[in-house]
Amino acid sequence: MADRAECPPASLPLRERMKIPRQHMPEQPAIERAANFSEVNLGYSEELALQEALRCLDCRKPLCMQNCPVGVKVQEFVDLIVAGDFLGAAAKIREDNVLPAITGRVCPQEDHCEGSCVLAKKGESLGIGYLERFVADYEQRMGVFHVPAVPPTGKKVAVVGSGPSGLTVAGDLVQRGHQVRVLEALHELGGVLAYGIPEFRLPRNIIKQQIDYLRATGIEFETNVIVGKTVTIDELMQEEGYDAVFIGTGAGAPLFMNIPGEQLNGVYSANEFLTRINLMKAYKFPEYDQPIVDIRGKDVAVIGGGNTALDAIRTALRLGARKAYVLYRRSEAEMPARAEEIRHARQEGIDFRLLTNPTEFLSNGEGWLSGVRCVRMQLGEPDASGRRRPVPINGSEFDLPLSVAVISVGTSANPVIQSTTPGLATDKRGYIQADPITQRTSCKGVFAGGDIVTGSATVILAMGAGRRAAKSIHEYLTTGEW
């Protein structure tokens, strides 16, 4: 490696390795980043990556890999970093994960690889996500494309949706020689990566590069196709000659709270708010045509405690909100958002109002939002989710003045495909039923995975489903057995 940095010898004794502290991820200062859309995390330098990689203890039974939904060979790629072979490390990750620059940024590693890292027992886990991001970005900078030459099988697969699960299925199947076409409903590729996750967590050029990489491997992409409307699953298989179809359309439909005032101007779903900003670039209005309500100097709240909620409120802050609140009905311990995102949000000045539940949106008398009525909550007995159930405290109602409210309380199944595909079994909530191992649906040749099967989850879990589906589709296409 010509430009390889000087690094401590890989043979550094274990005792020495254990003395190295977890390398801090350089970040854009909170005060600066709260006013721009540039990425918060700046990425490891080669030196930091080498230092961090040396912390890996090379466990005999590495739980990190076992607990990775796509089975990234963590130890092997980290060893390649230690050896200074960054491109080799990237190629090693790509064997199991076709979107390393994306998962290196948005995967909740603390729930998977890092959460099971032996180092976490006595201190801080290995920074596996940071290292993954480092090698993926290095690979992009070098502009190296490994396009594996595989003999074509002559089989055609349609992938519905270009989000994390769809891209994974496509990436895995093309590597097995199948012809793959990805159909996307929106005008841009990436699904939730493109419309949902903001630029400051996942820059658009990173998504584009990762998709360009997949395109270079031979995957075809077609935008503006809403399967179920523009073409049905049956038509894809019977008229367009696809041998198998994978449905990875995401959870899609936003849930509202069904409280008074939700129709007021200034009340958004998180999906709409984020789509206007991320997909349509409303923050660049009037250079871009799609508008969003002017937030400068206004008070904004998001309702909900997940990553999407934090993405929305941190976006509002960057649009110039005066006050930016998170209203969440449970306590911080129950918040589904990643710890890192909560920390970043606090640093940026987001005001967390926990154990607070909105009961009504208030009007200014002219149809615009002027505030939200809330009730304070306390935690009672654990509910079905295992989290302590929030219970309203009588007489604790109060009003919070607001100009914009963003509802981020979850999603439900978008019914477009289910309602146009005869025989496709769904559960009582409308999600597509698929076998948890093979991802097969009730229709022959049709597979499904990701949020449209499980309900809203994470990028990496959708990718895990995509991996299993690709394996299973490959088996079906080669054996013909259903």
Query: Under a CB-based contact definition with an 8 Å cutoff, are residues 190 and 207 in contact?
Result: yes
Q: Does 200 bind another protein (CB under 8 A)?
A: no
Q: Which of 38, 256, 380, 427 binds another protein (CB under 8 A)?
A: 256
User: 230 or 385, CB closer to another protein?
Assistant: 230
Q: Which of 45, 66, 263, 478 binds another protein (CB under 8 A)?
A: 263
Tell me the C-alpha distance between 311 and 329, whole Å. Answer: 18
Q: Does 206 bind another protein (CB under 8 A)?
A: no
Q: What is the DSSP letter of 277?
A: I
Query: Under a CB-based contact definition with an 8 Å cutoff, are residues 248 and 216 in contact?
Result: no
DSSP 173-242: HHTTT-EEEEE-SSSSSSTHHHHTS-TTTS-HHHHHHHHHHHHHTT-EEE-S--BTTTB-HHHHHHTS--
User: 277 or 372, CB closer to another protein?
Assistant: 277
Contact range with another protein by CB under 8 A, out of 131-139, 172-180, 255-263, 457-465 = 255-263
Supply the minimum distance, in Å, between the C-beta of residue 372 and another protein: 17
Query: Under a CB-based contact definition with an 8 Å cutoff, are residues 327 and 376 in contact?
Result: no
User: 291 or 382, CB closer to another protein?
Assistant: 291
Q: What is the DSSP letter of 27?
A: B
Tell me the C-alpha distance between 323 and 50, whole Å. Answer: 41
Q: Does 130 bind another protein (CB under 8 A)?
A: no
DSSP 132-155: HHHHHHHHHHHT------------
Supply the minimum distance, in Å, between the C-beta of residue 253 and another protein: 5
User: 120 or 186, CB closer to another protein?
Assistant: 186
Q: Does 471 bind another protein (CB under 8 A)?
A: no
> For residue 14, with 0-12 CB atoms within 10 Å meaning exposed, 13-18 middle and 19 or more buried, which class applies?
exposed
Tell me the C-alpha distance between 385 and 7, whole Å. Answer: 47
Q: Does 414 bind another protein (CB under 8 A)?
A: yes
Q: Does 36 bind another protein (CB under 8 A)?
A: no
Tell me the C-alpha distance between 453 and 466, whole Å. Answer: 11
- Name the 3-class secondary structure at 343: helix
Q: Which of 32, 288, 425, 478 binds another protein (CB under 8 A)?
A: 288
Supply the minimum distance, in Å, between the C-beta of residue 264 and another protein: 8
Contact range with another protein by CB under 8 A, out of 103-111, 137-145, 164-172, 272-280 = 272-280
Q: Does 253 bind another protein (CB under 8 A)?
A: yes
Contact range with another protein by CB under 8 A, out of 262-270, 297-305, 346-354, 442-450 = 262-270
- Interaction site with another protein (CB under 8 A): 185-187, 195, 223-226, 229-231, 252-254, 256, 258, 262-263, 265, 268-269, 271-272, 275-276, 280-281, 285-291, 293-294, 367, 414-416
